[in-house]
Amino acid sequence: MSETYDFLFKFLVIGSAGTGKSCLLHQFIENKFKQDSNHTIGVEFGSRVVNVGGKTVKLQIWDTAGQERFRSVTRSYYRGAAGALLVYDITSRETYNALTNWLTDARTLASPNIVIILCGNKKDLDADREVTFLEASRFAQENELMFMETSALTGENVEEGFLKCARTILNKIESGELDPERMGSGIQYGDASLRQLRQPRGSTAQTKQQCNC
């Protein structure tokens, strides 16, 4: 039978090739480090149901290839994403330099409202660091991104990254900033949400009428 959840969020994982996007996803879903990781071909898919702030949320995650030759293909998956993990490699300045391009793509192709969290991956390789935490957090602030450094190898901050992004989206839904009913919002209601719903108001009145018979 179908899984029950309150919401379904569509997520993207984007960033240059070799930054560890697939490993992040694998770590998040399987709780393991993916040893022999190849370049992703096109776009891969993963999903996990998580509990955020008392709500069950199914994350539908599209893990994109970072290689340039797939860029056109991966771009076609952007539309209708509610959240994104923008990943760079802290040991590769080039992947950091490419962030602006990725960000522009996400903001223009996905949705202006897309919630993005910047992930400086490979936190475990601190010795080879080419991008400082401060520098990246400044970049995140300027571009209104959330930010954390992660390690797909140790699992540090991986779960937190996905959850933080999901929580922000949930908050925006609750504050009315995001409308899940809007087409292309990347958010869907699940089956479970009806448990919290009360009976429609009109029905009580009708019940009373029928009781008289």
Partner 1 sequence: MMERAMEQLNVQLNRLTRSLRRARTVELPEDNETAVYTLMPMVMADQHRSVSELLLNSKFDVNYAFGRVKRSLLHIAANCGSVECLVLLLKRGANPNYQDISGCTPLHLAARNGQKKCMGRLLEYNADVNICNNEGLTAIHWLAVNGRTELLHDLVQHVSNVDVEDAMGQTALHVACQNGHKTTVLCLLDSGADINRPNVSGATPLYFACSHGQRDTAQILLLRGAKYLPDKNGVTPLDLCVQGGYGETCEILIQHHGRLFQTLIQMTQNDDLKESMLRQVLEHVSQQNDSNYQRILISLAEVGTTNGHKLLSLSSNYEAQMKSLLRIVRIFCHVFRLGPSSPNTGIDLAYNGNKTPRSQVFKPLELLWHSLDEWLVLISTELEKKCGDITSTSPGSDIASLFLKQREAGPSIVADTPDLLSSSLDPEVMMKSPEAYVDGQDVISMTANRLSAVIQAFYMCCSCQMPQGMTSPCFIEFVCKHDEVLKCFVTRNPKIIFNHFHFLLECPELMSRFMHIIKGQPFKDRCEWFYEHLLAGQPDSDMVHRPVNENDILLIHRESIFRSSCEVVSKFTNEKLKQGIAVRFHGEEGMGQGVVREWFDILSNEIINPDYALFTQSADGTTFQPNSNSSVNPDHLNYFRFAGQILGLALYHRQLVNIYFTRSFYKHILGIPVNYQDVSSIDPEYAKNLQWILDNDISDLGLELTFSVETDVFGAMEEVPLKPGGTSIQVTQDNKAEYVQLVTELRMTRAIQPQINAFLQGFHTFIPPSLIQLFDEYELRNTEYTSGYDLEEPVIQWFWDVVEGLTQEERVLLLQFVTGSSRVPHGGFAFLMGGSGLQKFTIAAVPYTSNLLPTSSTCINMLKLPEYPSKDVLRDRLLVALHCGSYGYTMA
Closer by beta carbon to partner 1, 78 or else 164: 78
- Name which of 18 and 160 has its Cβ closer to partner 1: 18
Q: How far is the CB of 138 from partner 1 (least distance, A)?
A: 23
Q: How far apart are CA 190 and CA 7, in angstroms?
A: 5
Q: What are phi and psi of 129, to 5 degrees?
A: -55, 130
Task: Kindly state the smallest distance separating residue 88's Cβ from partner 1, in Å.
Answer: 11
C-beta of 81 vs 146, nearer to partner 1:
81
CB of 173 to partner 1, least distance (A): 15
- Distance of closest approach, residue 184 Cβ to partner 1, in angstroms: 8
**Which tokens is 140 given?**
């995140």
Distance CA 47, CA 68 (A): 25
Contact criterion met (CB below 8 Å) for 45 and 59: no
CB of 181: closest distance to partner 1 in angstroms?
11
CA dihedral 180, 181, 187, 189 (to 10 degrees): 100
Alpha carbons 207 and 46: distance in angstroms, whole number: 45
Nearer to partner 1, 63 or 149 (CB): 63
Helices (H), 6-98: 21-30, 71-75, 93-97
State which residue, 43 or 50, has the beta carbon closest to partner 1. Answer: 43
User: Residue 122 in contact with residue 89, Cβ under 8 Å?
Assistant: yes
Binding residues (CB under 8 A) for partner 1: these are 1-2, 16-18, 39, 41-45, 60, 62, 66-73, 75-77, 79-80, 94-95, 98, 183-184, 188-191, 193-194, 197, 199-200, 203-204, 206-207, 210-211, 213
